[in-house]
């Protein structure tokens, strides 16, 4: 059974460029989460979707960040324009939201470097 799939695994881009990160959740999972991890701030939730609908985007740092989930098997996180402070590892996670279950399963992450 495939886990959460993310692409690309590494992205190096110049300041000002648009960056698009992609995620395919585990088949059958109905919740999807985007996280950012840095040494300084640890693992932070950016946005999450339930049944493809954005539920909470309060963690999105600013308008340069946007996320979509057009269907149950695909999501994107876009940064436009990118800045050096956006450099981090971005994780996508998915879960099967049932009563009493909260575990999330993480993808391998995308390491973003903005120069």
Partner 1 sequence: EDKVVQSPLSLVVHEGDTVTLNCSYEVTNFRSLLWYKQEKKAPTFLFMLTSSGIEKKSGRLSSILDKKELFSILNITATQTGDSAIYLCAVAYNTDKLIFGTGTRLQVFP
Q: Kindly list the residues in this chain that would bind partner 1 in the complex (CB under 8 A).
A: 4, 31, 33, 42-45, 48, 50, 55-56, 91, 95, 97, 100-109
Q: How near is the Cβ of 98 to partner 1 at its closest, in Å? A: 11
Residues 6+ apart with CB under 8 A from 30: 50, 51, 72, 95, 96, 97
Task: In angstroms, give the least distance from the CB of 85 to partner 1.
Answer: 19
Measured from the CB of residue 86, what is the shortest distance to partner 1 in angstroms?
Answer: 19
Token digits of residue 89: 């590892």
Residue whose CB is less far from partner 1, 12 or 43: 43
Cβ partners under 8 Å of residue 19, min gap 6: 11, 13, 78, 79, 80, 82, 86, 112, 114
CB of 97 to partner 1, least distance (A): 6
* Alpha carbon distance 56, 54 (integer Å): 6
* Residue whose pair of structure tokens reads 């995308």 in the numeric block: 110
Nearer to partner 1, 70 or 100 (CB): 100
Closer to partner 1 at the Cβ: 82 or 104?
A: 104
C-beta of 45 vs 81, nearer to partner 1: 45
């Amino acid at each position: 059974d495939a886990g959460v799939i993310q692409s690309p695994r590494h992205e190096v881009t110049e300041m000002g460029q648009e960056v698009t990160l992609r995620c395919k959740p585990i088949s059958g999972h109905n919740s999807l989460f985007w996280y950012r991890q840095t040494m300084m701030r640890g693992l932070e939730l950016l946005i999450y979707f339930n049944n493809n609908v954005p539920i909470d985007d309060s963690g999105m740092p600013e308008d340069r960040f946007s996320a979509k989930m057009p269907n149950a098997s695909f999501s994107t996180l876009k940064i436009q324009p990118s800045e050096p402070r956006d450099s981090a590892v971005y994780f996508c996670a998915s879960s099967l939201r049932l009563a009493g279950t909260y575990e999330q399963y993480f993808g391998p992450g995308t390491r973003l470097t903005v120069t």
